[in-house]
A = this chain, B = another copy of it.
């Protein structure tokens, strides 16, 4: 009986997050209101507040889920080998997640709470990527690992940003270059 209630609550929470993502993608964090999210989720505003105390709490849970899924990607199918291809062809793991992370960054410049959520999310992703790379390359120093992860993160996030523009260079050539860069990063002293 208690389990059933928990399941129903979990389902409800999922529905709210899905509705919120739609509203945030359409209007941005700032313009999307709790009543708009409630309407999209086909719930009353009162019902929404039973699950989340305010819009920031929804944003926080949404970002936690995006980061969880990215970490799962890094640990799972996304091998280091696939990164040059991903960068050169500007492939995305999830287009809406990318949009929401761009929105998150813009909002972080004016909202300290969103800025601290973003910093915490990045710290979690970064630590996870370091651990994963260290497992594959146990001989590398911690400092060396952090440097590889930082430059890889710069290239992944820069690519996310540049997906909004037209690709003006050859993806085949870019893939070759990115592979050389990543090899060099691992080998360098």
Interface of A toward B, CB cutoff 8 Å: 25-28, 30-31, 87, 99, 102-103, 105-110, 115, 118-119, 122-123, 126, 143-144, 146-147, 149-151, 153-162, 164-170, 173-174, 177-178, 180-181, 184-185, 188
Q: Is the CB of B184 within 8 A of A188?
A: no
What are 13 sample pairs from A and B whose C-beta atoms fall under 8 A apart?
Answer: A25-B109, A30-B30, A102-B109, A122-B165, A143-B169, A143-B170, A147-B170, A150-B174, A151-B177, A157-B157, A157-B161, A180-B184, A181-B184
Q: Which residues of B contact A168 (CB under 8 A)?
A: 123, 126, 146, 149-150
Q: Is the CB of B31 within 8 A of A164?
A: no
Q: Is the CB of A27 within 8 A of B154?
A: no
Complexed CA–CA distance, A86 and B31 (Å): 34
Q: Is the CB of B161 within 8 A of A105?
A: yes
Q: Is the CB of B147 within 8 A of A157?
A: no
Q: Is the CB of B30 within 8 A of A164?
A: no
Complexed CA–CA distance, A159 and B156 (Å): 10
Chain B's closest residue to A150 (CB) is B169
Q: Which residues of B contact A143 (CB under 8 A)?
A: 169-170, 173
A25: min CB distance to chain B, Å: 7
Q: Which residues of B contact A178 (CB under 8 A)?
A: 151
A87: min CB distance to chain B, Å: 7
